[in-house]
Amino acid sequence: MNEVPKALARAVASLAAPRILWLMVWPLLVSAALWTLVAVFAGPALVARLAQWAGSGSLPAWIPAAAVTGVVGWVLIAVAWFALVIATTGVILGALSMPFVVSHVAEHDFPGLARRRGGSFAGSLWNGVAAFLLFATAAVFSLPLWVFPPLWPFLFVALFTLLNTRVFRYDALAEHASAAEMRAIFARDRGALYALGALTAALGLVPVAGLFAPVLGGLAFAQFGLARLAALRAKGGAA
């Protein structure tokens, strides 16, 4: 478990590289532009539908219908926009930018680590889509809990722990680990991987800086995954 804070520290240090800074920016710009367009065109209809639903008696009697309409409706859309931007940024980063992130980490910190290519681009793309669908399903089932604002930070961290871990653990190892090594690390380090996912998810709660949490998460998982792979090979495991 002590590899988790080490991976985060190395990830923060890697942010100084110009190539990594660009990897922070372009997936975020694409995601923000996409979901801003959706919010502009679909937001008013969503708020109206929410107000209609709140006034239909669907809410418990102790929750006033006015509490989920008007300004609060737009606040909920803003929270959803923020969450979707971060989630989409993470998926784009995992599918398209993680090979460059992993190459950067391997070149600087694990130069002797052989590449056994247990994953592929198609596998990464499918993994990202599957992780996003799982995230979306969990988000839908958690909707009743979002009525309670004190739960928002915990729900956010729980959902993004799931997304970060499912996306980045595969992409961090796809190039260097064999399929057997990937399965071994996923099984042996399951708790540490989810702990790292939770820490990077919690960074998403930091105002403004939270938008860049996905790239820090990608770097941290690359550092952790390659370190665990090097340790596994040093012990002669999963050859």
The span from the CA of 175 to the CA of 103, in Å, is 9
pTM, 2 dp: 0.78
- Six-digit token string for 123: 């596998």
- Please report, as a single letter, which amino acid is at residue 132: F
Q: What is the pLDDT of residues 3-34, one digit of tens each?
A: 888 888 888 887 777 777 787 778 888 988 99
Q: What is the pLDDT of residues 72-129, one digit of tens each?
A: 667 777 878 888 888 888 778 877 888 888 888 898 889 889 999 898 888 888 888 8
Are 194 and 165 contacting, i.e. CB atoms less than 8 angstroms apart? yes
Count Cα atoms within 13 angstroms, Cβ side, for 68: 23
Q: Name the CA dihedral angle for 61, 66, 72, 77, rounded to a multiple of 10 degrees.
A: 70
- Six-digit token string for 100: 């460059």
* Alpha-carbon 47 to chain mean position: 27
- Does the CA dihedral 235-162-220-178 come out positive or negative? positive
